[in-house]
């Protein structure tokens, strides 16, 4: 769902592959937020995906133009996702099983945000 939703129509409308992929990721994150009725700051995977995807979207034009190496763009996205994941340590869980003991979730990284971080780290490692 993250990478697929609305990608076909977006790809047809955009002229560059890099910008199209960036748009798809942004649309995928928006779809996840709608489906889960969640947003960044609620101790979920979105706390890593949103900053990582934002970094990709902001850097995509420079990467497509050849002004920014793809590996650097992916490294920046991975760094943003890692910072977003780390921010969940100080949050109180709002969704899922962790929400049942929300106050005890403070001080613990959200498992979903770690997965989000790993997605971006895997892409950065592939490009390195």
pLDDT in tens, the chain (128 residues): 444 543 444 444 444 445 545 555 666 788 888 887 888 998 999 999 999 999 988 888 888 888 999 999 999 999 999 999 999 999 988 887 777 787 888 999 999 999 999 999 999 999 88
Count of CB atoms within 10 A of residue 89's CB? 14
Q: Which residues contact 73 (CB under 8 A, 6 or more apart)?
A: 55, 56, 59, 60, 62, 63
Query: Is the C-alpha dihedral spanning 9, 13, 18, 23 positive or negative?
Result: negative
| pLDDT given for residue 10 in this prediction | 41
Residue where the block lists tokens 């910072």: 83
Dihedral over alpha carbons 43, 46, 47, 52 (to 10 degrees): 170
Residue 14 has a pLDDT of 41
pLDDT at 24: 56
Q: Which letter, b or e, does each residue of 13-49 get, where b requires 16 or more Cβ atoms within 10 Å of its Cβ? A: eeeeebbbbbbbbbbbbeebbeeeebebebbbbbbbb
The pLDDT value given to residue 116: 94
């Amino acid at each position: 769902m993250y990478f697929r939703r609305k990608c076909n129509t977006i790809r047809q409308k955009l002229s560059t592959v890099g910008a199209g992929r960036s748009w798809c990721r942004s649309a995928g994150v928006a779809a996840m937020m709608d489906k889960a009725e969640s947003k960044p700051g609620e101790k979920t995977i979105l706390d890593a995906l949103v900053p990582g995807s934002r970094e990709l979207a902001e850097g995509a034009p420079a990467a497509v133009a050849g002004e920014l190496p793809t590996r650097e763009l992916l490294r920046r996205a991975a760094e943003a996702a890692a910072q977003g994941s780390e921010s969940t340590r100080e949050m109180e869980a709002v969704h899922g099983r962790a929400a049942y003991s929300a106050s005890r979730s403070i001080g613990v990284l959200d498992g979903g945000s770690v997965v989000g971080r790993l997605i971006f780290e895997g892409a950065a490692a592939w490009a390195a």
